[in-house]
Structure formats: structure tokens, C-alpha cells
Amino acid sequence: MELPPNLNVYVSAALFVLGAYVFALYAGLLIWTYRDIHARTRDVLAQIMATVLVAVFTLPGLLIYVLIRPRVTLAETYERELAEESIMREMEPKRACPKCQRQVEADFILCPYCHEQLKLRCLSCNRLLDPGWAICPYCGQEAHTDSLEDIPIAPEYQQQ
């Protein structure tokens, strides 16, 4: 049995293609690991250690990295925090003016839209009270309050 005369060329070409494939796979693992850990943590030491782990131990290092990496990415954490904040804002009680039904802040004394009296001020402790309260829950005094008729309203805010 006789070997082909150009066998060395074929073997060299096959080894070159195999080597290029292995190198591309190795480089791809390193790049993927770096990008994945970079998306999961801001800790520079963790980023370096994960990349070195895969660089030194290759496939077993990649398996170890996949087992110990953080479960969620920074983007997922940010989205979850935004969703939680949105839910918390929706849960906050929304206060509306009893007269015009527009949204007002909890510490408003007058509705800025229709000038409806929303709160009264206690004369003893100076805290804001709901108009229907008989006593001040803060100081326990009878609700002797300032009447808003005594407080002048700027002409631009008076009802027409």
C-alpha cells in the first residue's frame, strides 16, 4: 500500500483548520464569559476572576463559572426595581378634591383648582386637620381652628 505523495499537505491543512476551530472556540468562550459576567456584576475583581477561570481551565472552568455566576443580570435587577417602584407608587393613596375631583397633595389646605377648603389648622399645635374632626388627634384639644374666611386670598386665585 502506497501513501499519496501530498499527504503532508493534507494533514497540515487539516491540522490548521482544526487548530483554527479550537482557537476560535477558546476565544469565543473567553469573550462570552467576559460579556456575561460584565452584564451580571459591576465588581471588577469578579469579572477578572471569571475570565481567568475560563482562560485557565477552559471547558471545566466554564462549567464552574456557569454554576457560580450571579443568577440575574444587572438589567433584570434594574427592571425589577423599576416595577417594584411603580407598584409602590400605584399603592400610594391618591387624594382628590371632594368638589372638583382633581388630584391634590395630602398637605394642601386649599384645592388649587376650585379653592375648596381641604384642611384646617389646629390653633393649639398648628397641625393640619380634616374639616370633619371634632378634636385634634395630635394634641387632644377641641378642634378650634382657623377659618379660611379670615385668610385673604390673592386676587388671581379668587373664584370668578
Consecutive 10-residue runs of the chain (160 residues): their mean pLDDT?
85 97 97 97 97 96 97 96 90 84 88 90 86 86 59 52
pLDDT at 152: 47
pLDDT at 47: 97
CA atoms within 13 A on the CB side of 67: 8
pLDDT at 21: 98
Q: In whole angstroms, what is the distance from residue 8 CA to residue 121 CA?
A: 99
Q: What is the pTM of this model?
A: 0.56
Q: Hunting for cell 464552574 — which residue is that?
A: 64
pLDDT at 144: 58
pLDDT at 159: 53
Grid cell at residue 101: 375631583
Q: In whole angstroms, what is the distance from residue 99 CA to residue 106 CA?
A: 15
Closest CA relative to residue 113, chosen from 130, 96, 92, 132: 96
